[in-house]
Structure 1
């Protein structure tokens, strides 16, 4: 994502250049290698599960293997005025499922 140097609006990539839809300012599109992810930015939204995890555990029935324990976390995936979605990861088979409020 790139922002206009003149007016600050978000620019669009058009044929190898960045073009501002508001004021018409253009500049060459840089190499993808020049963009970096800092420590404060997340490179991914995916939460990987492993043998050692900091996620809390709870009693939850795994629909895949029948285990009765799972790690869990909550994530806002719909509009802000709706409740969060609960995600579970089985402690045995690492099957992942979600539970929505209906």
Structure 2
């Protein structure tokens, strides 16, 4: 797999050239460099990574009214998580009274 030096998108092979479908950049193919690329079959599977439960031991709270109609709480714990594929984080709230979860809008 090769990525475009201009825009970072994945490039595709077209004959004897690598072509970027995003910015139309083209580069010549190099058979020696391609032979050194690791195929999916050659990659090691380390299994499923451990995922930490960010809702456990959360002690930081802030004043944030719960959106549930029957809940009068104005405190919520929160955590910052990276948005998949994005360059920013999203704040996730959990009501300290009813446990309702929502994200910052």
Task: Looking at secondary structure, tell me which structure has more helix per residue.
Answer: 2
Rg larger in structure: 2
Q: TM-score, normalised by structure 2?
A: 0.48
Q: TM-score, normalised by structure 1?
A: 0.49
